[in-house]
Amino acid sequence: MGKALLEIKGLECVRGDNQLFSELSFSLEGGSLLHVHGPNGSGKTTLLRAIAGLVLPENGEICWNGEATGRQEDDFNRELLYLGHHYGLKFELTGYENLKVFANLSGAEISEHEVEAALTRFGLAHCVELPVKVLSQGQKRRVALARLLLQRSKLWILDEPFVALDVAAVELLLGVIKAHVGDGGMVILTTHQEVAMDAGKLQHLHLGEKPAASMAAQR
Amino acid sequence: MLSALRCIVMRDLTLAMRHRSDVLTTVFFFIIVVSLFPLGVGPDAALLKEMAAGVVWVAALLASMLSLTRLFADDYNDGTLEQLMLVPQPLVLIVLGKVLAHWIISGLPLVLMSPLLGLQFGLEGDELIMLMLTLLIGTPVLSLLGAIGAALTLGLRGGGVLVSLLVLPLYIPVLIFGAGAVTASAAGMGADGHLSLMGAILLLALVLAPWASAAALRISVE
């Protein structure tokens, strides 16, 4: 067993007056994939946003490398890549420009060639110079996902990453996730789609059930 | 740090260039509002000259309000704002970059247009230069203070009106000293005091406003 990099201790999140979950604890080590299950409204997105630091939890602690994430913002953010429901892309910019902005801001040295290679890998070689607004939903999602290949983040948090993707792209993304986990990376994701995931140490977390059952058995 | 700042500024400027109508609306609004006054007040040269600085300054305040609501709202709606909050750069730096870009897009054109509009009111030589100078020091303050209001009202319904109510009172000191400097210089008195105070306001806003905006953004995005 490796050392747990990400630790969630007694997490409680509230949305409005509605308590989504409480006393949620789990830990994640390098090379593992956490699949968060749960019906609509069970707090999957809130959990992912809380881990990313976008939502302040009501109670509990999120630790990265043994230190609370709130206190080490830039160090944690360097290791984190969060892709949510929104594409997080400027529609007036081209896919290339969008990726370049985030590559520059991530602080890593990323060459133009690497950006193009990432887009090509996601099957977007022909639309490098097109503004994102003329791309289809699936293509937009692919541009957003191309960031996975560029930023060398250790922890990927993916909220419904398979939405709008075609079969080939789903396969591709699964391959990318597998490779990342194989390299010792960590992935937390939610999806309602039936996809065959068998990468590294696969863990399941079920939200929206009785607290006692909230942490299901690991495989 | 500086490369991140430049990256944000360039990104927002590129976006503005692809949406040129947004930039032009602000400038034309400014020109039209200022030009309406001579038509409404009548061709009394002395009166026009007296009110010139006030009119140009109030028009500048209103024009800078126009584009404020979009400062963060576009990024908020398409999810890029939350991504910007997660990059390993201080949020204050990102806010500063966006404010700087906002000033270049909506403040700087006003500064450049102001001498032309001052001529309409019969301002001359030194007064025109003084008008331009006060706007040059004052418009960045408008963008900086406006950013706080824009961040606070992010995601609210009717945020546009609310922003005006929040931010316009904060603009009062800049308005007083900006218009006052031009009037003082037209009356032959020195405007150094006014300009120093405006400079002080600018520095204060530069130090405090990005922090306040960043804190407000964190609350709004949640």
Q: Which residues of B touch A84 (CB under 8 A)?
A: 79, 82
CB of B89 less than 8 A from some CB of A? yes
**Mutation to test the A interface, candidates B2, B21, B70, B87, most A Cβ within 10 Å:** B87
Tell me the pLDDT band of A215, cut-offs 50, 70 and 90.
Answer: very low
Domain layout of chain B by residue ranges: 2-220
pLDDT computed for residue A212 by the predictor: 42
Q: Is the pLDDT of residue A208 over 60?
A: yes
**Mean pLDDT, range A181-191, rounded to an integer:** 89
Instruction: Work out the minimum CA distance from B164 to partner chain A, whole angstroms.
Output: 27
What's the pLDDT tens digit per position in A96-117?
899 989 888 887 778 888 888 8
Read off the pLDDT of each residue in B110-136 and give the average, rounded to a whole number.
91
Q: Is the pLDDT of residue A170 over 50?
A: yes
Helices (H), chain B: 2-18, 20-41, 45-68, 70-77, 80-86, 91-102, 108-120, 125-152, 159-167, 172-186, 192-221
Picking from A188, A211, A189, the residue whose alpha carbon sits closest to that of residue A27 is A188
Residue A58, CA distances (Å) to A24, A70, B149 in order = 12, 14, 26
Contact present, B220 and B71 (Cβ < 8 Å): no
Asked if the Cβ–Cβ distance from A89 to B80 is below 8 Å, we say: yes
Q: Which two tokens stand for residue A112?
A: 């133009």
User: Are the C-beta atoms of A150 and A99 separated by less than 8 Å?
Assistant: yes
Interfacial residues of A (vs B; Cβ cutoff 8 Å): 52-56, 73-75, 77-78, 80, 82, 84-93, 97, 101-102, 104-107, 131
d(CA A83, CA A71): 22
Which residue from B14, B82, B87 is facing A102, i.e. has the nearest CB?
Answer: B87
Angstrom distance (rounded) from CA A112 to CA A116: 6
What does the pLDDT average to over A43-71?
87
CB contact under 8 Å between A88 and B83, yes or no, is: yes
pLDDT band at residue A216 under the 50/70/90 scheme: very low
Q: Band the pLDDT of B160: cuts 50, 70, 90.
A: confident
ipTM computed for the complex: 0.85
Tell me how close the Cα of A217 comes to any Cα of chain B, in angstroms. 32
Share of chain B above pLDDT 90, in %: 63
pLDDT at B158 over 50: yes
Buried b (16+ CB within 10 A) or exposed e, A183-205: eebbbbbbbeeebebebbbebeb
Structure confidence at residue A126 as a pLDDT band (50, 70, 90): confident
Kindly state whether B79 is in contact with chain A, defined as any CB-CB distance less than 8 angstroms: yes
Mean pLDDT score, B74-84: 90
Percent of chain A scored above 90 by pLDDT?
A: 14
Dihedral of alpha carbons B190, B196, B199, B205, sign: negative
Contacts of A52 in chain B (CB under 8 A): 86
Coil, strand or helix at A67: strand
Among B80, B91, B218, B222, most A C-beta atoms within 10 A, so best to mutate, is B80
Query: Token digits for A106?
Result: 């991530």
Q: Is B8 on the interface with A (CB under 8 A)?
A: yes
B80 touches chain A (CB under 8 A): yes
Q: Does B49 touch chain A (CB under 8 A)?
A: no
Q: What pLDDT was estimated at residue A209?
A: 65
């909050």: which residue's tokens? B85
Joined together, the tokens standing for residue A183 give: 């390299």
Q: What is the pLDDT of residues B53-72, one digit of tens each?
A: 999 999 999 999 888 888 99
Q: Please indicate whether, in this complex, the C-beta atoms of B86 and A52 are within 8 angstroms of each other.
A: yes
Min distance A130 CA to chain B CA atoms (Å): 13
Residue of A nearest to B5 (CA): A105
Q: Is the per-residue pLDDT at B112 higher than 90?
A: yes
* Chain A CB within 8 Å of residue B221 CB: yes
- The pLDDT assigned to A2 comes to 58
Partner-chain residue, chosen from B4, B8, B88, that has the shortest CB–CB distance to A78: B88
What pLDDT, on a 0 to 100 scale, did the predictor assign at position B99? 96
A82 → closest Cβ in B3, B80, B86: B86
Q: Provide CB contacts within 8 A for B5, sequence distance 6+.
A: B93, B96, B97, B100
Taking the Cβ of residue B154 and every Cβ of chain A, the question of whether any pair is shorter than 8 Å is answered with no
Amino acid at A56: L
Chain centroid offset of residue B222 CA: 27
Please state, in angstroms and as integers, the Cα–Cα distance from residue A53 to each residue in A157, B51, B153, following that order: 11, 51, 21
CA–CA distance from A194 to each of A166, B8, B18 (Å)? 13, 39, 40
